[in-house]
Amino acid sequence: MAGLFAANILADHCEQVVVLERDKGWEPGAASAGIPHSTDCLPQAEGRPGVPQSRHVHVLLLRGVQVLRTRFPGLEEELLSLGATRLNWLKDTAALAGGGWLPRIDLNLPGFSVSRTLLEGSVRARLRDRGNIRFRPGHRVVGLRADRGAGESDASDIRVTGAVCAVGDETVGLDADLVVDTSGRSSRLPRWLKELGYAAPRESTVNADVGYATRWYRIPEDWQADWKMALLATRYPDIRGGAVVQPVEGRRWVVTLVGYAGDHPPTDEAGFEAYARRLIGPQVWEAMRAAEPLTGIGGFRRTENHWRHYEQLKRWPRGLVALGDSVCAFNPVYAQGMTVSALSAELLDEFLKGRRKKEGQKDGQLMPSGLVFQRKLAKMLQTPWQLATSDDFRWAGREAGDANLTDRFMHRYVDHVLDRIHRPEVCLAFFSVAHLISPPVALFRPRIALPILWAMAKARF
Protein backbone atom coordinates (compact mmCIF):
# COMPACT_ATOMS: atom_id res chain seq x y z
CA MET A 1 0.00 0.00 0.00
CA ALA A 2 2.93 2.36 0.59
CA GLY A 3 3.94 1.87 -3.04
CA LEU A 4 0.41 2.49 -4.29
CA PHE A 5 -0.04 5.65 -2.22
CA ALA A 6 3.36 6.92 -3.40
CA ALA A 7 2.60 6.11 -7.05
CA ASN A 8 -0.62 8.11 -6.86
CA ILE A 9 1.32 11.13 -5.60
CA LEU A 10 4.18 10.75 -8.09
CA ALA A 11 1.71 10.65 -10.98
CA ASP A 12 0.94 14.30 -10.18
CA HIS A 13 4.61 15.24 -10.60
CA CYS A 14 6.00 12.87 -13.22
CA GLU A 15 5.41 12.15 -16.87
CA GLN A 16 5.38 8.43 -16.12
CA VAL A 17 5.41 6.26 -12.99
CA VAL A 18 6.47 2.61 -13.09
CA VAL A 19 5.56 0.32 -10.21
CA LEU A 20 7.97 -2.62 -9.97
CA GLU A 21 6.60 -5.70 -8.21
CA ARG A 22 8.12 -9.03 -7.32
CA ASP A 23 4.79 -10.88 -7.61
CA LYS A 24 4.19 -12.27 -11.07
CA GLY A 25 0.81 -11.93 -12.72
CA TRP A 26 -1.19 -11.16 -9.57
CA GLU A 27 -4.45 -9.35 -10.28
CA PRO A 28 -7.09 -8.19 -7.81
CA GLY A 29 -9.66 -9.97 -9.96
CA ALA A 30 -13.21 -8.92 -9.27
CA ALA A 31 -12.08 -6.02 -7.14
CA SER A 32 -11.08 -4.02 -10.21
CA ALA A 33 -14.28 -4.61 -12.15
CA GLY A 34 -17.03 -4.33 -9.54
CA ILE A 35 -17.98 -7.12 -7.20
CA PRO A 36 -21.48 -8.59 -6.98
CA HIS A 37 -22.75 -9.45 -3.54
CA SER A 38 -21.82 -13.10 -3.76
CA THR A 39 -19.04 -14.64 -1.70
CA ASP A 40 -18.15 -16.83 -4.70
CA CYS A 41 -16.89 -13.74 -6.57
CA LEU A 42 -15.26 -11.87 -3.71
CA PRO A 43 -11.50 -11.48 -3.23
CA GLN A 44 -10.10 -14.47 -1.40
CA ALA A 45 -8.60 -14.29 2.06
CA GLU A 46 -5.12 -15.22 0.90
CA GLY A 47 -4.58 -12.02 -1.11
CA ARG A 48 -1.34 -11.86 -3.09
CA PRO A 49 1.92 -13.72 -2.38
CA GLY A 50 3.94 -10.57 -1.70
CA VAL A 51 1.70 -9.68 1.25
CA PRO A 52 1.81 -12.77 3.49
CA GLN A 53 -0.17 -11.02 6.24
CA SER A 54 -3.00 -9.96 3.91
CA ARG A 55 -5.33 -12.65 5.27
CA HIS A 56 -5.25 -11.04 8.71
CA VAL A 57 -7.20 -8.05 10.02
CA HIS A 58 -6.26 -4.77 8.30
CA VAL A 59 -7.65 -1.48 9.54
CA LEU A 60 -7.33 1.95 7.98
CA LEU A 61 -7.29 4.35 10.91
CA LEU A 62 -9.51 7.40 10.73
CA ARG A 63 -6.62 9.66 9.75
CA GLY A 64 -5.94 7.27 6.87
CA VAL A 65 -9.61 7.39 5.87
CA GLN A 66 -9.38 11.17 5.73
CA VAL A 67 -6.38 10.95 3.38
CA LEU A 68 -8.15 8.37 1.23
CA ARG A 69 -11.15 10.66 0.82
CA THR A 70 -8.88 13.47 -0.37
CA ARG A 71 -6.63 11.48 -2.68
CA PHE A 72 -9.19 9.01 -4.05
CA PRO A 73 -12.53 10.84 -4.25
CA GLY A 74 -15.48 8.47 -4.37
CA LEU A 75 -13.45 5.38 -3.44
CA GLU A 76 -15.05 5.09 -0.01
CA GLU A 77 -18.52 5.09 -1.55
CA GLU A 78 -17.38 2.50 -4.09
CA LEU A 79 -16.10 0.22 -1.33
CA LEU A 80 -19.34 0.58 0.60
CA SER A 81 -21.32 -0.34 -2.52
CA LEU A 82 -19.19 -3.48 -2.79
CA GLY A 83 -20.10 -4.58 0.72
CA ALA A 84 -17.66 -2.80 3.01
CA THR A 85 -19.13 -2.02 6.42
CA ARG A 86 -19.68 1.59 7.47
CA LEU A 87 -18.25 1.94 10.97
CA ASN A 88 -18.80 4.57 13.61
CA TRP A 89 -15.82 3.50 15.65
CA LEU A 90 -16.79 3.89 19.29
CA LYS A 91 -20.54 3.60 18.80
CA ASP A 92 -20.31 0.42 16.70
CA THR A 93 -17.36 -1.24 18.45
CA ALA A 94 -17.31 -3.37 21.58
CA ALA A 95 -13.81 -2.36 22.67
CA LEU A 96 -11.96 -3.53 25.76
CA ALA A 97 -8.85 -1.47 26.50
CA GLY A 98 -6.82 -1.24 29.67
CA GLY A 99 -9.05 -3.81 31.31
CA GLY A 100 -12.13 -1.60 30.89
CA TRP A 101 -14.79 -1.12 28.23
CA LEU A 102 -14.71 2.01 26.13
CA PRO A 103 -17.92 4.06 26.23
CA ARG A 104 -20.17 3.62 23.20
CA ILE A 105 -20.39 7.27 22.19
CA ASP A 106 -21.01 8.86 18.80
CA LEU A 107 -18.03 10.97 17.74
CA ASN A 108 -19.43 11.67 14.27
CA LEU A 109 -16.21 10.29 12.79
CA PRO A 110 -17.39 7.53 10.46
CA GLY A 111 -14.96 5.17 8.82
CA PHE A 112 -15.37 1.81 7.14
CA SER A 113 -14.19 -1.76 7.46
CA VAL A 114 -12.99 -3.73 4.43
CA SER A 115 -10.60 -6.55 3.62
CA ARG A 116 -7.04 -5.67 2.69
CA THR A 117 -7.47 -7.43 -0.65
CA LEU A 118 -10.52 -5.42 -1.73
CA LEU A 119 -8.98 -2.13 -0.59
CA GLU A 120 -5.73 -2.80 -2.44
CA GLY A 121 -7.51 -4.03 -5.58
CA SER A 122 -9.75 -0.97 -5.69
CA VAL A 123 -6.82 1.42 -5.23
CA ARG A 124 -4.91 -0.38 -8.01
CA ALA A 125 -7.88 0.00 -10.34
CA ARG A 126 -7.89 3.75 -9.70
CA LEU A 127 -4.17 3.96 -10.43
CA ARG A 128 -4.51 2.05 -13.70
CA ASP A 129 -7.14 4.53 -14.80
CA ARG A 130 -4.74 7.44 -14.38
CA GLY A 131 -2.93 6.66 -17.62
CA ASN A 132 0.61 7.55 -16.61
CA ILE A 133 1.09 4.72 -14.07
CA ARG A 134 2.35 1.35 -15.32
CA PHE A 135 2.62 -1.85 -13.29
CA ARG A 136 5.43 -4.27 -14.06
CA PRO A 137 4.81 -7.57 -12.27
CA GLY A 138 7.52 -10.18 -12.02
CA HIS A 139 10.23 -7.51 -11.62
CA ARG A 140 12.30 -8.25 -8.51
CA VAL A 141 14.57 -5.29 -7.77
CA VAL A 142 18.11 -6.51 -7.05
CA GLY A 143 20.05 -3.25 -7.11
CA LEU A 144 20.26 0.43 -7.99
CA ARG A 145 21.70 2.08 -11.07
CA ALA A 146 23.79 5.14 -10.33
CA ASP A 147 25.88 7.87 -11.94
CA ARG A 148 28.95 8.95 -9.98
CA GLY A 149 29.36 12.17 -11.91
CA ALA A 150 32.78 13.80 -12.10
CA GLY A 151 34.10 12.33 -8.86
CA GLU A 152 34.38 8.59 -9.39
CA SER A 153 35.24 7.97 -5.74
CA ASP A 154 33.12 10.67 -4.15
CA ALA A 155 29.91 9.10 -2.82
CA SER A 156 28.43 12.54 -2.18
CA ASP A 157 28.25 13.15 -5.94
CA ILE A 158 26.27 10.01 -6.75
CA ARG A 159 22.85 10.23 -8.35
CA VAL A 160 20.59 7.18 -8.48
CA THR A 161 19.42 6.79 -12.08
CA GLY A 162 17.21 3.70 -11.94
CA ALA A 163 16.86 0.11 -10.77
CA VAL A 164 18.23 -3.28 -11.72
CA CYS A 165 15.60 -6.03 -11.83
CA ALA A 166 15.61 -9.80 -12.10
CA VAL A 167 12.90 -10.79 -14.59
CA GLY A 168 12.79 -14.53 -14.89
CA ASP A 169 16.30 -15.59 -15.93
CA GLU A 170 17.19 -12.15 -17.23
CA THR A 171 18.59 -9.01 -15.62
CA VAL A 172 16.96 -5.79 -16.76
CA GLY A 173 18.01 -2.19 -16.11
CA LEU A 174 15.40 0.57 -15.94
CA ASP A 175 16.10 4.33 -15.95
CA ALA A 176 14.34 6.84 -13.69
CA ASP A 177 14.71 10.42 -12.53
CA LEU A 178 13.52 9.45 -9.07
CA VAL A 179 13.54 6.05 -7.33
CA VAL A 180 11.24 5.46 -4.36
CA ASP A 181 11.84 2.37 -2.21
CA THR A 182 8.62 1.01 -0.71
CA SER A 183 9.68 -2.64 -0.66
CA GLY A 184 8.75 -3.20 2.98
CA ARG A 185 10.37 -4.86 5.97
CA SER A 186 12.67 -6.89 3.72
CA SER A 187 14.08 -3.84 1.93
CA ARG A 188 17.69 -4.27 0.81
CA LEU A 189 18.34 -0.56 0.63
CA PRO A 190 20.94 -0.56 3.47
CA ARG A 191 23.04 -3.04 1.48
CA TRP A 192 22.61 -1.11 -1.77
CA LEU A 193 23.71 2.10 -0.07
CA LYS A 194 26.86 0.40 1.17
CA GLU A 195 27.56 -0.87 -2.34
CA LEU A 196 27.44 2.75 -3.54
CA GLY A 197 29.88 3.85 -0.83
CA TYR A 198 27.43 5.17 1.75
CA ALA A 199 27.04 4.18 5.39
CA ALA A 200 24.30 1.81 6.46
CA PRO A 201 21.74 3.39 8.80
CA ARG A 202 21.48 2.75 12.51
CA GLU A 203 18.48 0.52 13.22
CA SER A 204 16.10 0.43 16.21
CA THR A 205 14.09 -2.66 17.11
CA VAL A 206 11.48 -3.19 19.80
CA ASN A 207 10.18 -6.74 19.70
CA ALA A 208 7.34 -7.66 22.05
CA ASP A 209 7.29 -11.22 20.63
CA VAL A 210 3.76 -10.83 19.28
CA GLY A 211 2.12 -13.55 17.25
CA TYR A 212 -1.34 -13.78 15.79
CA ALA A 213 -3.58 -16.24 14.02
CA THR A 214 -6.58 -15.62 11.76
CA ARG A 215 -9.61 -17.41 10.39
CA TRP A 216 -12.41 -16.11 8.19
CA TYR A 217 -16.08 -16.83 8.94
CA ARG A 218 -19.47 -16.29 7.33
CA ILE A 219 -21.68 -14.07 9.50
CA PRO A 220 -24.90 -15.97 10.38
CA GLU A 221 -28.04 -14.64 8.71
CA ASP A 222 -29.81 -14.42 12.07
CA TRP A 223 -26.89 -12.85 13.91
CA GLN A 224 -27.86 -10.06 16.30
CA ALA A 225 -25.53 -8.05 18.48
CA ASP A 226 -25.09 -4.46 19.65
CA TRP A 227 -21.71 -4.23 17.89
CA LYS A 228 -20.33 -4.43 14.38
CA MET A 229 -16.69 -4.87 15.40
CA ALA A 230 -15.21 -6.37 18.56
CA LEU A 231 -11.78 -5.39 19.86
CA LEU A 232 -10.13 -6.92 22.92
CA ALA A 233 -6.80 -5.21 23.63
CA THR A 234 -3.91 -6.52 25.68
CA ARG A 235 -2.40 -4.72 28.67
CA TYR A 236 0.98 -5.12 30.30
CA PRO A 237 1.72 -7.26 32.25
CA ASP A 238 -1.37 -9.39 32.89
CA ILE A 239 -3.52 -9.38 29.74
CA ARG A 240 -1.39 -11.13 27.13
CA GLY A 241 -4.16 -12.21 24.78
CA GLY A 242 -6.39 -10.06 22.61
CA ALA A 243 -8.51 -10.32 19.47
CA VAL A 244 -10.36 -8.49 16.72
CA VAL A 245 -13.57 -9.48 14.95
CA GLN A 246 -13.68 -7.39 11.78
CA PRO A 247 -16.69 -7.26 9.44
CA VAL A 248 -15.75 -7.22 5.74
CA GLU A 249 -17.55 -7.44 2.41
CA GLY A 250 -19.66 -10.49 1.63
CA ARG A 251 -21.08 -10.78 5.16
CA ARG A 252 -17.83 -12.18 6.46
CA TRP A 253 -15.82 -11.80 9.63
CA VAL A 254 -12.05 -11.76 9.83
CA VAL A 255 -11.19 -13.07 13.30
CA THR A 256 -7.61 -12.47 14.43
CA LEU A 257 -6.37 -13.66 17.82
CA VAL A 258 -3.27 -11.93 19.22
CA GLY A 259 -0.77 -12.98 21.86
CA TYR A 260 2.12 -11.08 23.45
CA ALA A 261 5.41 -12.20 24.99
CA GLY A 262 5.37 -15.59 23.31
CA ASP A 263 1.81 -16.47 24.30
CA HIS A 264 0.86 -16.99 20.66
CA PRO A 265 -2.54 -18.34 19.57
CA PRO A 266 -2.26 -21.84 18.03
CA THR A 267 -3.06 -22.48 14.38
CA ASP A 268 -4.81 -25.82 14.94
CA GLU A 269 -8.59 -25.66 15.32
CA ALA A 270 -8.80 -26.96 18.89
CA GLY A 271 -6.04 -24.68 20.13
CA PHE A 272 -7.40 -21.66 18.24
CA GLU A 273 -10.85 -22.09 19.78
CA ALA A 274 -9.47 -22.75 23.26
CA TYR A 275 -7.45 -19.52 23.04
CA ALA A 276 -10.59 -17.58 22.06
CA ARG A 277 -12.56 -19.04 24.96
CA ARG A 278 -10.06 -17.82 27.56
CA LEU A 279 -10.09 -14.17 26.40
CA ILE A 280 -11.51 -11.64 28.85
CA GLY A 281 -14.47 -10.58 26.71
CA PRO A 282 -17.03 -13.16 25.52
CA GLN A 283 -17.80 -11.49 22.18
CA VAL A 284 -15.10 -13.18 20.13
CA TRP A 285 -15.89 -16.73 21.17
CA GLU A 286 -19.64 -16.15 20.88
CA ALA A 287 -19.19 -14.90 17.30
CA MET A 288 -16.90 -17.80 16.36
CA ARG A 289 -19.23 -20.37 17.86
CA ALA A 290 -22.21 -19.05 15.89
CA ALA A 291 -20.43 -18.63 12.55
CA GLU A 292 -19.38 -20.96 9.75
CA PRO A 293 -15.60 -21.16 9.14
CA LEU A 294 -14.65 -20.27 5.56
CA THR A 295 -10.88 -20.79 5.70
CA GLY A 296 -8.17 -22.60 7.56
CA ILE A 297 -6.17 -20.88 10.29
CA GLY A 298 -3.05 -18.92 9.34
CA GLY A 299 -0.43 -17.50 11.68
CA PHE A 300 2.02 -14.59 11.48
CA ARG A 301 5.04 -13.87 13.66
CA ARG A 302 7.13 -11.10 12.07
CA THR A 303 5.71 -8.27 14.15
CA GLU A 304 8.64 -6.35 15.64
CA ASN A 305 8.80 -2.55 15.49
CA HIS A 306 11.79 -1.73 13.29
CA TRP A 307 13.15 1.67 12.25
CA ARG A 308 16.01 2.24 9.81
CA HIS A 309 17.30 5.70 10.73
CA TYR A 310 18.16 7.07 7.30
CA GLU A 311 17.56 10.56 8.66
CA GLN A 312 20.74 10.28 10.74
CA LEU A 313 23.02 9.66 7.76
CA LYS A 314 25.34 12.48 6.76
CA ARG A 315 25.41 11.58 3.06
CA TRP A 316 22.69 10.36 0.73
CA PRO A 317 22.55 9.90 -3.07
CA ARG A 318 20.41 12.23 -5.14
CA GLY A 319 17.29 10.91 -6.84
CA LEU A 320 16.37 8.42 -4.09
CA VAL A 321 13.83 8.37 -1.26
CA ALA A 322 12.35 5.61 0.91
CA LEU A 323 9.12 5.36 2.84
CA GLY A 324 6.65 2.87 4.30
CA ASP A 325 7.88 -0.28 6.05
CA SER A 326 11.16 0.08 4.16
CA VAL A 327 11.94 2.83 6.66
CA CYS A 328 9.77 2.17 9.70
CA ALA A 329 7.65 -0.92 10.31
CA PHE A 330 5.28 -1.10 13.26
CA ASN A 331 3.80 -3.90 15.30
CA PRO A 332 0.75 -4.65 13.09
CA VAL A 333 -1.48 -4.96 16.15
CA TYR A 334 -1.71 -1.16 16.31
CA ALA A 335 -2.98 -0.95 12.71
CA GLN A 336 -0.75 2.01 11.88
CA GLY A 337 0.98 0.70 8.76
CA MET A 338 -1.41 1.70 5.97
CA THR A 339 -2.28 5.03 7.56
CA VAL A 340 1.36 6.00 8.15
CA SER A 341 2.09 5.04 4.53
CA ALA A 342 -0.69 7.34 3.36
CA LEU A 343 0.67 10.18 5.51
CA SER A 344 4.19 9.53 4.19
CA ALA A 345 2.92 9.87 0.63
CA GLU A 346 1.24 13.15 1.58
CA LEU A 347 4.58 14.32 2.93
CA LEU A 348 6.27 13.30 -0.32
CA ASP A 349 3.76 15.41 -2.23
CA GLU A 350 4.49 18.46 -0.07
CA PHE A 351 8.22 17.88 -0.42
CA LEU A 352 8.17 17.62 -4.21
CA LYS A 353 5.97 20.71 -4.50
CA GLY A 354 8.33 22.61 -2.23
CA ARG A 355 11.43 21.55 -4.15
CA ARG A 356 9.90 22.46 -7.48
CA LYS A 357 8.84 25.89 -6.24
CA LYS A 358 12.25 26.51 -4.69
CA GLU A 359 14.32 25.35 -7.63
CA GLY A 360 12.00 26.27 -10.51
CA GLN A 361 11.91 22.70 -11.74
CA LYS A 362 9.66 21.67 -14.55
CA ASP A 363 7.55 18.53 -14.73
CA GLY A 364 9.64 15.39 -15.05
CA GLN A 365 12.76 16.97 -13.53
CA LEU A 366 12.79 15.34 -10.13
CA MET A 367 16.22 14.98 -8.55
CA PRO A 368 15.49 16.19 -5.01
CA SER A 369 17.75 15.94 -1.99
CA GLY A 370 16.41 12.71 -0.57
CA LEU A 371 18.10 13.20 2.79
CA VAL A 372 15.99 16.31 3.39
CA PHE A 373 12.89 14.21 2.78
CA GLN A 374 14.11 11.40 5.06
CA ARG A 375 14.56 13.91 7.88
CA LYS A 376 11.09 15.35 7.36
CA LEU A 377 9.69 11.83 7.31
CA ALA A 378 11.46 10.95 10.55
CA LYS A 379 9.76 13.85 12.34
CA MET A 380 6.36 12.58 11.22
CA LEU A 381 7.21 9.02 12.30
CA GLN A 382 7.98 10.03 15.88
CA THR A 383 4.34 9.97 17.00
CA PRO A 384 3.30 6.55 15.62
CA TRP A 385 6.63 5.08 16.78
CA GLN A 386 6.06 6.39 20.31
CA LEU A 387 2.53 5.00 20.33
CA ALA A 388 3.58 1.58 19.06
CA THR A 389 6.65 1.11 21.22
CA SER A 390 5.51 2.59 24.53
CA ASP A 391 3.76 -0.57 25.70
CA ASP A 392 5.81 -2.92 23.51
CA PHE A 393 8.97 -1.71 25.22
CA ARG A 394 7.79 -3.20 28.49
CA TRP A 395 6.70 -6.46 26.89
CA ALA A 396 10.10 -6.73 25.21
CA GLY A 397 11.89 -6.60 28.58
CA ARG A 398 15.66 -6.57 28.73
CA GLU A 399 15.99 -7.14 24.98
CA ALA A 400 14.74 -3.59 24.42
CA GLY A 401 17.27 -2.14 26.89
CA ASP A 402 16.73 -0.16 30.07
CA ALA A 403 13.91 2.37 30.13
CA ASN A 404 15.04 5.92 30.78
CA LEU A 405 13.21 8.30 33.09
CA THR A 406 11.05 9.70 30.29
CA ASP A 407 10.02 6.22 29.15
CA ARG A 408 9.13 5.16 32.69
CA PHE A 409 7.11 8.34 33.22
CA MET A 410 5.17 7.79 30.00
CA HIS A 411 4.50 4.14 30.88
CA ARG A 412 3.00 5.12 34.22
CA TYR A 413 1.10 8.04 32.71
CA VAL A 414 -0.50 5.86 30.03
CA ASP A 415 -1.42 3.30 32.70
CA HIS A 416 -3.38 6.03 34.48
CA VAL A 417 -5.00 7.07 31.20
CA LEU A 418 -6.16 3.50 30.60
CA ASP A 419 -7.48 3.29 34.16
CA ARG A 420 -9.73 6.25 33.27
CA ILE A 421 -10.62 5.11 29.75
CA HIS A 422 -14.30 4.73 30.67
CA ARG A 423 -14.58 8.53 31.08
CA PRO A 424 -15.78 10.11 27.80
CA GLU A 425 -13.23 12.95 27.73
CA VAL A 426 -10.34 10.53 28.35
CA CYS A 427 -11.68 8.02 25.86
CA LEU A 428 -12.08 10.68 23.17
CA ALA A 429 -8.54 11.95 23.65
CA PHE A 430 -7.06 8.44 23.68
CA PHE A 431 -9.08 7.41 20.63
CA SER A 432 -8.06 10.52 18.66
CA VAL A 433 -4.39 9.94 19.43
CA ALA A 434 -4.57 6.22 18.60
CA HIS A 435 -6.15 7.04 15.21
CA LEU A 436 -3.43 9.66 14.53
CA ILE A 437 -6.00 12.46 14.38
CA SER A 438 -4.49 14.26 17.39
CA PRO A 439 -0.88 14.40 18.64
CA PRO A 440 0.01 12.71 21.96
CA VAL A 441 -0.08 16.10 23.67
CA ALA A 442 -3.89 15.74 23.59
CA LEU A 443 -3.52 13.29 26.49
CA PHE A 444 -1.97 16.10 28.56
CA ARG A 445 -4.86 18.55 28.45
CA PRO A 446 -5.40 19.94 31.96
CA ARG A 447 -8.73 18.18 32.55
CA ILE A 448 -7.03 14.84 31.91
CA ALA A 449 -3.51 15.52 33.11
CA LEU A 450 -4.05 17.24 36.48
CA PRO A 451 -5.83 14.32 38.23
CA ILE A 452 -3.29 11.89 36.80
CA LEU A 453 -0.25 13.94 37.78
CA TRP A 454 -1.67 14.37 41.28
CA ALA A 455 -2.19 10.61 41.60
CA MET A 456 1.34 9.95 40.32
CA ALA A 457 2.79 12.48 42.77
CA LYS A 458 1.00 10.85 45.71
CA ALA A 459 2.30 7.45 44.61
CA ARG A 460 5.78 8.94 44.07
CA PHE A 461 5.57 8.18 40.35
248 plus 265 within the same structural domain: yes
Instruction: Tell which of 264, 284, 300 closes a domain.
Output: 300
Residue 104 shares a structural domain with residue 216: yes
Is 281 a residue whose pLDDT tops 50? yes
Q: List the end-to-end C-alpha distance of the chain, in Å, as a whole number.
A: 42
Q: What is the pLDDT of residue 45?
A: 56
**Residues 284 and 431 occupy one common structural domain:** no
Q: Are residues 192 and 323 in the same domain?
A: yes
- Answer yes or no: is 30 within a domain: no
Helix axes 405-419, 370-396, angle to 10 degrees: 70
Alpha-carbon span 309 to 200, nearest angstrom: 9
The chain-wide mean pLDDT, for the chain, equals 90
* pLDDT per residue as tens digits for the range 72-116: 999 999 999 999 999 998 899 999 987 788 999 887 778 999 999
Average pLDDT over residues 316-338: 96
CA atoms lying within 13 Å on the CB side of residue 34: 1
Separation CA 397–CA 387 (nearest Å): 17
Is 166 in the same domain as 100? no
Residues 6+ apart with CB under 8 A from 404: none
Confirm whether 29 is domain-assigned.
Answer: no
| Model pLDDT, residue 411 | 84
In a domain? residue 11 = no
What is the model's pLDDT at position 410?
Answer: 85
**The pLDDT of residue 25 is above 50:** yes
* Residue-level pLDDT at 354: 83
Query: Do 338 and 1 touch, CB atoms closer than 8 A?
Result: yes
Among 255, 281, 300, the domain boundary falls at 300
> In the predicted model, is pLDDT for residue 34 greater than 90?
no
**Which of 153-162, 236-245, 338-347, 423-432 shows the lowest mean pLDDT across its residues?**
153-162
Total of domains in the chain: 3
**pLDDT above 90 as % of the chain:** 76
132 lies in some domain: no
Do 263 and 293 sit in the same domain of this protein?
A: yes
If asked whether residues 102 and 214 sit together in one domain, one would say yes
Q: Are residues 202 and 319 in the same domain?
A: yes
- Regarding whether 286 and 145 lie in a shared domain, the answer is no
Asked if residue 94 and residue 225 are part of one domain, the reply reads yes
pLDDT tens, 365-394?
Answer: 555 579 999 999 999 999 999 999 988 988
Residue 29 has pLDDT above 60, yes or no: no
Give the span between the Cα atoms of 441 and 451, in whole angstroms.
16
On whether both 65 and 198 belong to a single domain, the answer is no
CATH number at residue 330: 3.50.50.60
Tell me what the mean pLDDT of segment 253-259 comes to. Answer: 98
Q: Indicate if 217 and 279 belong to the same structural domain.
A: yes
Burial of residue 294 (CB within 10 Å: 0-12, 13-18, 19+) is middle
- What does the angle CA 186 – CA 60 – CA 81 come to, to the nearest 5 degrees? 125
Domain residue limits at 158: 138-206+304-388
Last residue of a domain, one of 254, 285, 300: 300
Q: Is residue 394 part of a domain?
A: no
**Averaged pLDDT for residues 9-14:** 97
18 in any annotated domain: no
Q: Where are the beta strands (DSSP E) in 93-150?
A: 93-97, 100-101, 110-113, 133-136, 140-147
* Residue 317 pLDDT: 95
In a domain, 192, yes or no: yes
Q: Quote the CA–CA distance of 166 and 113 in Å, as a whole number.
A: 37
Does 17 reside within a domain? no
